[in-house]
Structure 1
Amino acid sequence: MDFEQAHCTFMETHTNERAGERRGRMLRGHNYAEKLFLQNVWWPLFESLEQLHPEYEVYDWNRKSQFLDFAFLPASGSRFGIECDGFQSHVKEMDREKFSYAFNRDTFLTGMGWKRLHFSFDDIQQRPEVCRMLLQLALAPYLARSTAGGEKLLSAEKEVLRLAWQIGRPLQPKEVTDFIQINFRTARKMLNSLSNKGLLQPVPGGRGTRSYELKPMHPDQSW
């Protein structure tokens, strides 16, 4: 299924699940910028729109209804609110009261367990690779999956994955030994284990494998 087909199915599914103002808000709010975010940023990373909810309703401390551009609700139980912010509507047309409320709302949602991610429309349109890099960095620790056989990741293995996400390039055993203070043989064994679990992939070089890089992840993968 290509993006256009997936997006049509995505919109049809969420439209049919809603009624009243929630349905109207989705049809009014999901426009060019939001679709472009999905096309330029989300789809190239995941090739899926599962567990993503457009124009998702939340409430502030006064029980006032608000809508997030997207809510990403993976199986791990984490909650991400994603906003596509245009300069004109989110900065130039914002008065002091709205400015204060926007910050207070984000802080309130953070207190309620949401993780808030903001992307500018200019970056979504002109520099989507930057958005993809930042999105992957933000989501990756919450999407590292259990293995197909149900085996859970060890704490040290999670630290190795975090290191790989942080440096953003192929990871070498020497970097692992320095990061978590283990010997070289143990580091190679751990990298090979993560490769066998489908989280890293070897990068051939010289006399065999010298480094490992992250494998693309699907959004329904979780610890």
Structure 2
Amino acid sequence: MGFAEEHQRWLEYHKKRRTGERLDRLDRGHRHGEQMFVERVWWPIFGKLDDLHPEYEVADWRGRPYFVDFVWKPGQVKFAIEIKGYGPHVQNTDRTRYRQELNRETYLQIAGYRVIAVPYDDLESAPEQTISLLKALLTPCLLKTSSEGSGQFSRIERDILQMASRMNGMIRPVDVVKQMGINRRTAIKHLTTLGDKGKFKPVLTPESNRICRYELVQSMIDSEIW
């Protein structure tokens, strides 16, 4: 599944779980800058949108609702990600609003979030710089998570993942059968299990809606897991 389809599916998933102001804020808040971040930075790093929550509601230090552009919660750690344009955040003439914004960021850190500010201009002109910085920041947390859960992959599952990587991310049950010398039922069982673990997405044939192959979900920590 490509980015456009996955992005739409991801948005619909979150919209279905919201009502009232939380739904309205998602409609109003997830705009050009936020969409650029997801497409030009997040997707190239992860190849998926799991655990990323758009327009995430938290309470500020006064108990009032506040919506963070993105919150990422892959496990025990949680990050608050804000897309910041030059005008609204630097040339803001409303000094009270500016102070409140800074206080919110401090409070988010008190509440256990690591706060990331992403310049809007970099998303347009230099997304690779943001990608590099985020990788350096997030990789230690991802490696900790993967080392704790790396045992979830059996030897044969790791072999299948490596095989899919060599085949440009697409693999069929028949490929597993030929390469690994196992029967088709066992191959499908392992591919399905890896799909349940978030490493494969089934690709359906348009005519019959049957699974014809599996698409590898790339991750920047694949080398550590495999």
TM-score range, shorter chain: 0.5 to 0.7
Equivalent residue, structure 1, for 2:141 = 142
List structure 1 segments (4+ residues) > 6 angstroms apart after TM superposition. Answer: none
Give 1:72 shift: 0.2
Equivalent residue, structure 2, for 1:118 = 117
Cα separation, 1, equivalents of 2:96 and 2:88 = 15
CA-based RMSD of the aligned residues comes to 2.0
Equivalent residue, structure 2, for 1:207 = none
Equivalent residue, structure 2, for 1:35 = 35
Give 1:149 shift: 2.2
Cα separation, 1, equivalents of 2:120 and 2:68 = 15
Equivalent residue, structure 2, for 1:73 = 73
Gapped regions of structure 2 (runs ≥ 5)? 154-218
Gapped regions of structure 1 (runs ≥ 5)? 152-214
Equivalent residue, structure 2, for 1:10 = 10
Cα separation, 2, equivalents of 1:12 and 1:30 = 12
Give 1:148 shift: 3.2
Equivalent residue, structure 2, for 1:55 = 55
Percent of paired sites with the same residue: 37
SS in 1 for 2:150: coil
Equivalent residue, structure 1, for 2:91 = 92
Kindly tell me the number of residue pairs found equivalent between the two proteins: 156
Tell me if structure 1 keeps the 8 A contact 2:92–2:98.
Answer: no
SS in 2 for 1:138: helix
User: Which of residues 210, 217, 220 in structure 2 aligns to 1:216?
Assistant: 220
Cα separation, 1, equivalents of 2:64 and 2:26 = 17
Give 1:104 shift: 1.2
Q: CA deviation digits over 1:104-156, x for unaligned, max 9? A: 111111111000001111001110011001111111111101263269xxxxx
Tell me if structure 1 keeps the 8 A contact 2:53–2:70.
Answer: yes
Counterpart amino acid of residue 42 in structure 1: W
Tell me the TM-score normalised to structure 1 length: 0.66
Counterpart amino acid of residue 25 in structure 2: R
Equivalent residue, structure 1, for 2:108 = 109
Equivalent residue, structure 2, for 1:131 = 130
Cα separation, 1, equivalents of 2:93 and 2:63 = 22
Equivalent residue, structure 2, for 1:45 = 45
Q: Which has a greater percent of helix?
A: 2
Counterpart amino acid of residue 65 in structure 2: S
